[in-house]
Chain A
Amino acid sequence: DAGVIQSPRHEVTEMGQEVTLRCKPISGHDYLFWYRQTMMRGLELLIYFNNNVPIDDSGMPEDRFSAKMPNASFSTLKIQPSEPRDSAVYFCASSLPAGGLETQYFGPGTRLLVL
């Protein structure tokens, strides 16, 4: 398996623009997670899905952030409008169904820079 795939790997945009980050989980994994990593706040869980349904979005910072999972093999994290403080590395991770969900497999991350 190719592992968790994220795109783009790097994104530079200007304040106010819409940003869409994409993730393809490992096939057969029912859980998908979005994390944000910054120097100041470390690694934060933003939201996670089970069988395409959002389970816990309490980590989503504000309404400018939204995440969707239209099917089992694709998820997006959207920021609209983007702000410089959104600059971070965004990770997607996936894990097996309950009984194995404790082990997450991370993608390579998307490094976002908002100017």
Chain B
Amino acid sequence: AQTVTQSQPEMSVQEAETVTLSCTYDTSESNYYLFWYKQPPSRQMILVIRQEAYKQQNATENRFSVNFQKAAKSFSLKISDSQLGDTAMYFCAFMGPTSGTYKYIFGTGTRLKVLA
């Protein structure tokens, strides 16, 4: 069964510093997608970044980048130049095929607080 694990329930970082959130997953599939979603206090789920497993190049979106290690099944999120608005819950998510359908699995989340 596919699983997604976020081992850091809470983290904090000083404004303008860099922080890395960890995520590991387990799957026997070779083609799948990985995501990081942000959930601010408003509760809205916002896509931050996504990675296709068949791509070796790490995805980047402005201050957000990932370190995708397929063999290690690791998918960490790096936030550079942290801003107060980055304070939120961050969810790692997996999407891949299984038994003729697709499975979407979210991790338990990491609560990030950016300190002024």
Binding site for B on A (CB under 8 A): 33, 42-45, 48, 55-56, 89, 91, 93, 101-106, 108-109, 111
Contacts and interface: CB of A to CB of B under 8 A. Distances in A.
B47 A102 contact: no
Contacts, number: 45
Contact of B44 (A42, A44, A108): A108
A33 B104 contact: yes
A108 B43 contact: yes
B104 A48 contact: yes
A46 to B, nearest CB: 11
Contacts of A33: 104
Main secondary structure of the interface of B (DSSP, over half): strand
Contact of B43 (A44, A89, A101, A103): A89
Main secondary structure of the interface of A (DSSP, over half): strand
A106 B45 contact: yes
Contact of B50 (A45, A91, A103): A103
Interface size class on chain B is 20 to 34
Contacts of B33: 102
A43 B50 contact: no
Contact of A56 (B44, B47, B50, B101): B101
Chain A to chain B: the 9 pairs with minimum beta-carbon distance, closest first: A106-B45, A102-B33, A43-B106, A42-B108, A56-B101, A45-B104, A109-B43, A102-B95, A108-B44
A109 B37 CA distance: 15
B106 A93 contact: no
